[in-house]
Amino acid sequence: MTRTVDATQELAAFLRTRRERLDPDDFDLPSRRRSRRTPGLRREEVAELAGVSIDYVVRLEQGRGLRPSADVVEALSRALRLGPDERAYLFGLTRQRPRTTEEPATAAAPQLARLVADLSPLPAMLMNHRYDILTWNPEMGRLLRDLDTLPPARRNAMWLCLMHPGMRDFYLDRESVVREGVAHLRAAWAAHPEDRALSELIAEFTLRDAEFARLWNEGDVKVNGRGRKEMRHPDVGVIAVDFEVLMPLQDADQRLVIFRAADGGSQAALDRLGAA
């Protein structure tokens, strides 16, 4: 017989071990509670810190089939002082979806910025979930043009496609590129309801671009991490690139975008662009 892991029992064991490893001296607990024979916090102390009943904590640690709500899981995470990976694990055990706690990335992580530079001669850039371009290497700068001269608030891949005068005819299949971008922004908007800047960006696009407004109203949701784009560069002509989007584990809001020439002619065009 194949033995499988019981999520309820694993949840019970995980809560117990995390409670027992805590040092009571690290908490502002009444001194009368400090006399104890077992390591860690008591169940009633965890209950008090999490704002739940003692009986509830007891039943969870006994594996009695409870399924805590997202609010309770969050409260237990704080009470047990779980790290980010442990918090994610607890949410996974309880089959709840964690709320986003990290601020959206507005600057490239130094290690990722170095990686983008090291990827030369492949065009590469780093974006966040809003499509803000956080950093790029020279090859990407030559391909997309004007990145260095734009103010930081306008270094956004979707803004470039929709609003930049020099990019209106840049993509051969413009509607497909815009449609994919809209579907990605809708998914990002649902995953980051607290991101006011993203909501304001979507409102600006909806107000100022009829094509974006039409596609937004269609309600498509998709995150496309791989594909092909054809571009009409004013200096070297048509370039077809295959792109790949990678998400680093340590910086989950940053997306590494890498372009590779899709054919020999496109590679020759990229080489001419680099030589220029």
SS (H, E, C) the chain: CCCCCCHHHHHHHHHHHHHHCCCHHHCCCCHHHCCCCCCCCCHHHHHHHHCCCHHHHHHHHCCCCCCCCHHHHHHHHHHCCCCHHHHHHHHHHCCCCCCCCCCCCCCCCHHHHHHHHHCCCCCEEEECCCCEEEEECHHHHHHHCCCCCCCHHHCEHHHHHHHCHHHCCCECCHHHHHHHHHHHHHHHHHHCCCCHHHHHHHHHHHHHCHHHHHHHHHCCCCCCCEEEEEEEECCCEEEEEEEEEECCCCCCCCEEEEEEECCHHHHHHHHHHHHC
Which tens digits make up the pLDDT trace of 93-113?
888 877 665 667 788 999 999
Model pTM score? 0.76
Q: Label residue 83 by pLDDT band (50, 70, 90).
A: confident
If you average pLDDT over residues 177-191, what whole number do you get?
Answer: 90
pLDDT value at residue 132:
95
pLDDT given at position 260? 96
Task: Give 2 or 84, the one with higher predicted confidence.
Answer: 84
Contact 124, 136 (CB under 8 A): yes
Q: What is the pLDDT of residue 229?
A: 94
Tokens of 203: 């409102």
Instruction: Please say whether the beta carbons of 60 and 52 come within 8 A.
Output: no
Q: What's the confidence (pLDDT) of residue 275?
A: 85
Backbone φ and ψ of 35, nearest 5°: -70, 115
Q: How many other CB atoms are there within 10 angstroms of residue 190's CB atom?
A: 9
The percentage of residues in the chain with a pLDDT greater than 70, rounded to a whole number, is 93
Q: Are 231 and 239 in contact (CB under 8 A)?
A: yes
Average pLDDT over residues 226-243: 94
